[in-house]
Amino acid sequence: MALYEKKYSLDDLKKAAKPFKRRMDFQKACPKEYAVARSRHVLDEVCAHMPKRKYISIEMIYEAAKPFKKRAEFAENCPGEYSAAKRYKILDDVCHHMPPKKIYPIDQIYAAAKPYKTREEFYKNKPGEYEAARRRCILDDVCKHMTRYAKYPVEKIYEAAKPFKSSTDFKAKCPHEYAAAKRRGILDDVCKNMERPISYSLDQIYAAAKPFKRRVEFKKACPGEYDAARNRGILDDVCSHMPKRKIYTLEMVMEIAAPCKTSGEFYVANHAAYRAAVEKGWMDIVCAHMEKRYQPCQEEYEFLSEDEIRKRASKFDKVGDFMAKDKKAYNAARRRGILKEVCEGMERQWSYRTFDECAEEAAKYETRKQFEKGSPKHYDYARRYGWLDEICVNMTALRESWPKHRCLEIASHCESIQDFRTIAPSAYEKCWKKGWLEEATKHMEVTRRSRTLEECIADASKYKYRSEYKIGNYASYSYAQQHGWLDEVCKNMERIGDAYWRMVYVYEFKDGAAYVGLTCNFTRRHWQHLNEEVDPVYKHIAKGHTEYELKKLSDYISKYEAAKMEDDFITKYRNDGWRMLNTRRGGGLGYPRRNMKKKKD
């Protein structure tokens, strides 16, 4: 299938983009038109009617990340700030307060899986190790000692479902047969003779609630009617005849708590009164007469003099040992404000740093990046206490600003576009983005030479793929693309996909096993299946199943169509009785977007 089967005019592209409010929606629904607009550099014009992306400052990113403890929660609740942090390359800094993701060694994964007999038990008790094994594609090897549930034929599923009157009972008593029916898409047919959930009328709900004086009793005795009332939003109206929750005053709570000797007895005697005391902050008043299980910490260290604290601290060489082995003296020193003085000669994992020390260390470096790499502890300490901007004020910024007058001034000294692009690439890129390029290069000579169709074909014959042709001889490639010769010039090349175009394929083994996948490079992916030891196809062939047939189920198509097609084919093969080797669900787009820019020193 040709990459662009149709010639699109600018009006066609604008018409295709008109119904959408976001570029992302336009890209998903019309991938071809989006790709054409991007390749012709008219994407901004085509998407001019769409609202511009909201500008997110670095302060806004830090503020948004504060409440979250995991990166996944941050990405889910604040996707804009999360993607902005990734673009600015400050994600690690923004998420420094979050605990790092736990890394499980392979030995730990195998040891964790050993005590369990089924995968279900392994997943319930050790979800972290289970997911780590699945991500590394070693789950089959880790769980090889476990017993797998038998494959349930259709007849067995129907037979298991017969005794039950509702699908809920079927799911509770025969979970494996229920799951097998759901996977094969025959659950509705299996449960067609079972009773449907009861539909309660308003009269039934009100009549069921009438005998009860509390909502708890109503919920326990009539859970179906209670849930129906709650789902319809009429629970308050249905329970309007029930007495409302008792309101406790301070005098009532003190009267209830007076006979109790401890707060535990008070809690057992009247939980509602105890809860009211906690919510309203009366616990100190209400429990003043009660016995306390322990004395305040102040009494523990009041009798320790400063000389005694210093004497006990002198036995230790490290602050960590002092804190762990003599907590009483350590806490006494900390509360009295002499901890730093007492621990002056001890080793510590981290040290206090003053503003002057951080400023003196920062003066050794020219940029913040060098400061961060060369003295990470001083940098982190200064950043944590808000000194970073002040001590780095004399450092040179890595990014330069390029106003229009400066770009035009630099361009005026260049004789050709190629010289401008080589001498000042940042200024050239700024002109291209802002639309100043024509004005900046109007005095320059055009050094681009013309080519014939035969010359472009000769240049293209040296390459196997379009991507190699584009990288190896960009001038010839772009000339052929602008003159509409690209399909003719590249007709003998082998097609490969990219981040947007994927192919679906299948391995069919003679023993009844199959593997369905999608790829952007069919040749490379086939080599990986045959040579990588963690690959399920490689493992299956290594067991002696060497006879297979490799089929292409599609040409290179949109990645969204390919993902759906892969998932559909996995379901189809499974329903047809094939034993699937896929360890993950279909539809995953694992092709990484590589950053092609060179890293700056």
Q: For residue 25, is it within any domain?
A: yes
Whether residue 147 has pLDDT greater than 80: no
Cα–Cα distances in angstroms (integers) from residue 177 to residues 121, 155, 158, in the given order: 18, 11, 9
Residues 512 and 562 in one domain: yes
The boundaries of the domain holding residue 38 are 1-52
Instruction: Indicate the pLDDT class of residue 197, thresholds 50, 70 and 90.
Output: low
- What residues contact 114, with CB distance under 8 A and at least 6 apart? 145
pLDDT of residue 454: 87
Q: For residue 419, is it within any domain?
A: yes
Residues 571 and 509 in one domain: yes
pLDDT of residue 504: 92
Q: For residue 588, is it within any domain?
A: no
Q: What is the mean pLDDT of residues 208-236?
A: 86
Contact 67, 90 (CB under 8 A): no
Per DSSP, 185 falls in state T
Highest-scoring range by mean pLDDT, 299-308, 340-349, 547-556: 547-556
- Give me 100's structure tokens: 């790092």
pLDDT of residue 164: 86
Cα dihedral 415, 421, 425, 427 sign: positive
Could you tell me which residue, 52 or 126, shows the higher pLDDT? 126
pLDDT of residue 397: 61
Whole-angstrom distance, CA of residue 467 vs CA of residue 501:
13
Which of 169, 168, 178, 232 has the alpha carbon at shortest distance from 206?
Answer: 232
Instruction: Indicate the pLDDT class of residue 550, thresholds 50, 70 and 90.
Output: very high
Q: Which backbone phi and psi does 103 adopt, to 5 degrees?
A: -105, 125
Cα 215 from chain centroid (whole Å): 41
DSSP character string of 369-389:
HHHHHH-HHHHHHHHHTT-HH
DSSP element (H, E) containing 550: strand 548-552
Q: For residue 88, is it within any domain?
A: no
| Of the candidate ranges 23-27, 504-508, 527-531, the one whose mean pLDDT is the lowest | 23-27
Work out how many domains the chain is built from and give that number.
10
- Give me 538's structure tokens: 């490689």
Residues 481 and 514 in one domain: no
Q: For residue 592, is it within any domain?
A: no
Residues 261 and 213 in one domain: no
Give the percent of the chain with pLDDT over 70: 90
Q: For residue 261, is it within any domain?
A: yes
pLDDT of residue 513: 92
Q: For residue 428, is it within any domain?
A: yes
Count Cα neighbours of 196 within 13 Å in the Cβ-side half-sphere: 4
3-state secondary structure of 52: coil
Cα–Cα distances in angstroms (integers) from residue 7 to residues 12, 36, 38, 196, 241, in the given order: 9, 9, 14, 55, 72
3-state secondary structure of 446: coil
The whole-chain average pLDDT of the chain stands at 82
pLDDT of residue 419: 82
Residues 232 and 170 in one domain: no
| H-state helical runs in 143-258 | 154-161, 167-173, 175-184, 187-190, 202-209, 215-221, 223-232, 235-238, 250-257
Whether residue 145 has pLDDT greater than 80: yes
Residue with tokens 């279909």, as numbered in its chain: 586
Whole-angstrom distance, CA of residue 123 vs CA of residue 125:
6
Q: Is 13 left (phi over 0), alpha (psi -120 to 50) or beta?
A: alpha
Q: What is the mean pLDDT of residues 534-539?
A: 89
Residues 460 and 512 in one domain: no
DSSP element (H, E) containing 551: strand 548-552
Q: For residue 589, is it within any domain?
A: no
The predicted-structure confidence for 51-69, as pLDDT tens digits, reads as follows 876 677 888 888 889 898 8
Q: Which backbone phi and psi does 269 adopt, to 5 degrees?
A: -65, -45
Whole-angstrom distance, CA of residue 207 vs CA of residue 576:
51
Give the percent of the chain with pLDDT over 90: 2
Whether residue 340 has pLDDT greater than 50: yes
Whether residue 1 has pLDDT greater than 50: no
3-state secondary structure of 413: coil
